[in-house]
Amino acid sequence: MSRLLLFFGGELRIGDEFTATYIGGQNRPIIVDYDISLTMLKDRVMSALRINRTTNTVSLTCRLRSNGGNCATHVTDDEVCEFMLLEARNDPVIVYVETEQINFGDVAGPSTGVQTHIMPIIKQQLDMKPKEVIARIESKFEMKISYMKAWDARRKAIESIFGSYEESYRSLIRFMEAIRLTQPGTVSNIEMVGGSRFKALFWAFGPSISGWQHCRPVLSLDGTFLLGKYRGTLLVAVGIDANGGLFPLAFAVVESESNESWVWFLKNLHDLVEVVKLRQNLCIISDKHPGLVRGCREIFPNAVHRHCLRHLRENYKKFLRRKAIPDVEGLCINMYLAGTTDDIVNFTRMMNHIKNVKQEAYDWLIERDVSKWSLLFDNGFRYGIMTTNASECFNGVIKRARGLPIQGLVMSIYYNLVSLFVRRSTDVEKWLMSGESEFAPRTMATLNRTEREARRCPQPLTINRGEFEVVDSSCRPNRVEIQSLQNSTCTCKRPQLYHVPCVHVIAVAGYRRWNHNQFVSQYFTLNSYRETYSGLFHVMPPKEVWPNFSDAQGIIPLLAPAFRRRAGRPRTNRFRNTMDEANSTSNKRCGHCKQNGHNRSTCPNNPGSSRYRR
């Protein structure tokens, strides 16, 4: 008699042989007579199809007939469906499929079927989570699978694309050579130990290299740990585009964030990415890692190295606690305000407050070279960028891809960049077609706000042909110098620090009937934004057409690195430090004792506070 089976995964077709259990309990080889998708089955016998979500079972009463092995109402289905109704016969007579309970947990069995279904999705979404696999299977097939089955299916899908972790390293040189050939301008370098064992990888995509020339001459450097089978760290160099968006430039996979690794990364950035080496007034922003300090000093002697203010505040907080200096939170707030202010009066007030609390706390900041952490004394190299948030944000974007094999990590970054270039190049074309502005939206918003403020300023006083005096809402006179139609300075320092005209320059421009847009840096224009994302990525070729192994060309199989991770599930979140502490308590100021870090109700010096009532 005929037998109804629900097979999950694979593509069984007419003539294929498989083993099934008949009602009598015997296992026999049978031949697939025809196949039909579950969707088609629902269309024909919807009233007879009952799904029990609680027990994950389905009851089918199928009344499709088969004469001589041919379905009387056979309809072809061009769409491949992982759920198939397979009808097999053992008598050339009209047969019926009997009602039967089928348990998905038993029939679905191995994760191979799930892998088959998610394979096309994984290729475009390499960071797909097991929970997303479960949700997709449940949504499409009204079936729940276990977390481990989803995890295993995802692992198999990734390995089928990139091979195992070991295979991903083995063919890495072929893979990077294929990228170099298909993405013009791409540079890479693989460092090995012992002749064939992987140690480190550096790479930068061609479109990113050509696009960064039109970004501000600022690079944010940072690193993040990887989560795969082998221990490692991803180092990144990120720029800032005309609209203030992050622009990933270069990457490296190294064993750890050590002095040697950072020097190696900076050397490759200097030697392989020529636009970085030749860039004038280059500013590198990072934490005070010894390897970065040494590398910037030795490899980029003409560049300006600035420190991330958030990392410096973390070090400052540790110093204050170690020295048992009181009011740590208040001192850190004043330190951060001193670093971010562009007003000399505010800077002096904040630093004097720190000095009055503790001379040692003041001296620690002065010893760190104020020009390296203070915006006011930066001379405009930072373009107003005070932290390494850009590189840290990109690390967050690829967080879910950090557990992939190394080729999967590179491809995940590739797909992120492709999406970024397509989305932003589309945006800039819309902005240019609208003709509303010649500057990126964020810059235009700043200019509009400054223009409104400039209208409230009194008429500027002309001192000489290129020098003017402007009084703003603070009632302080500011001296504006117009050295040329593209260059202006002001004693408030904002045009020099941000490379955008301040309220005083705009007031003078309005008084002299000049176009103040000429004083805006070219790195904020829509033309620069368009050129930044004008580079083209190309489709990656399949593995079959990658360059073959060749000792003569240096394309050799690599061994996996020696730094294998310990057994067990890796930690996905970084260890919390003082930068992660909530800022809500830091902004509190007590109305009783006037100290920062608490309020009146929790004040330790107030007998009426809740702390005393406990």
> Cα–Cα distance between 451 and 509 in angstroms, integer?
11
Alpha helices in 300-358 (DSSP H): 309-322, 328-340, 344-357
Mean pLDDT of all residues belonging to the chain? 78
| Number of helices and strands in the chain (H, E) | 23, 21
On whether the CB atoms of residues 4 and 34 are closer than 8 A, the answer is no
Q: Are strands 197-204 and 187-193 parallel, antiparallel or unpaired?
A: antiparallel
In Å, what is the CA distance from 298 to each residue of 232, 263, 294? Answer: 25, 9, 6
pLDDT beyond 80 at 589:
no
Closest CA to 431 of 442, 419, 439: 439
pLDDT beyond 50 at 5:
no
On whether the CB atoms of residues 206 and 441 are closer than 8 A, the answer is no
The helix/strand/coil state of 217 is: coil
Confidence (pLDDT) at 53: 44
Confidence (pLDDT) at 158: 84
> What is the four-CA torsion angle of 355, 359, 360, 366, rounded to 10 degrees?
50
Q: Are strands 304-307 and 100-103 parallel, antiparallel or unpaired?
A: unpaired
Lookup: tokens for 125 = 């979404």
Banded pLDDT at 56 (limits 50, 70, 90): very low
Could you tell me how far CA 94 lies from the centroid of its own chain? 60
pLDDT beyond 80 at 121:
yes
pLDDT beyond 70 at 239:
yes
The helix/strand/coil state of 45 is: helix
pLDDT 10s digits, 27-54: 443 333 333 334 444 443 333 334 444 4
Across residues 114-125, what is the average pLDDT? 79
The helix/strand/coil state of 413 is: helix
User: For 116-120, 236-240, 300-304, 371-375, which range has the lowest pLDDT when averaged over its residues?
Assistant: 116-120
Beta bridge partners of 239: 247
pTM of this prediction?
0.74
Higher-confidence residue of 289 and 79: namely 289
Q: Write the DSSP string, 273-308.
A: -HHHHH-TT-EEEE---HHHHHHHHHH-TTSEEEE-
Closest CA to 512 of 545, 473, 480, 557: 480
Confidence (pLDDT) at 151: 87
Banded pLDDT at 401 (limits 50, 70, 90): confident
In Å, what is the CA distance from 596 to each residue of 179, 223, 336, 468? Answer: 54, 33, 14, 42
In Å, what is the CA distance from 467 to each residue of 484, 494, 582? Answer: 11, 17, 47
Closest CA to 310 of 390, 377, 242: 390
Banded pLDDT at 609 (limits 50, 70, 90): low
Lookup: tokens for 175 = 């893979």
Lookup: tokens for 527 = 């033309």
Phi-psi region of 257 (alpha: psi -120 to 50; beta: other; left: phi over 0): beta
Beta bridge partners of 614: none
Q: Are strands 246-254 and 49-52 parallel, antiparallel or unpaired?
A: unpaired
- 465: exposed, middle or buried (C-beta count within 10 Å: 0-12, 13-18, 19+)? exposed
Banded pLDDT at 440 (limits 50, 70, 90): very high
In Å, what is the CA distance from 165 to each residue of 114, 116, 200, 404, 417? Answer: 21, 20, 15, 8, 23
In Å, what is the CA distance from 279 to each residue of 108, 191, 215, 217, 283? Answer: 58, 26, 11, 7, 10
Banded pLDDT at 424 (limits 50, 70, 90): very high
On whether the CB atoms of residues 220 and 286 are closer than 8 A, the answer is yes
- 24: exposed, middle or buried (C-beta count within 10 Å: 0-12, 13-18, 19+)? exposed
Across residues 497-503, what is the average pLDDT? 94
Across residues 143-170, what is the average pLDDT? 86
Q: Parse the chain into domains and list their residue ranges.
A: 3-108, 112-162, 310-373, 441-524, 582-614
On whether the CB atoms of residues 448 and 506 are closer than 8 A, the answer is no
pLDDT beyond 50 at 245:
yes
Across residues 283-287, what is the average pLDDT? 95
State percent of the chain over pLDDT 70.
73
Across residues 249-253, what is the average pLDDT? 97
Confidence (pLDDT) at 562: 82
Confidence (pLDDT) at 613: 42
State percent of the chain over pLDDT 90.
49
Other beta carbons within 10 angstroms of residue 58's beta carbon come to: 20
On whether the CB atoms of residues 408 and 401 are closer than 8 A, the answer is yes
pLDDT 10s digits, 530-585: 999 999 999 998 888 999 888 878 889 999 998 765 555 555 554 454 444 544 44
Higher-confidence residue of 599 and 380: namely 380
pLDDT beyond 60 at 119:
yes
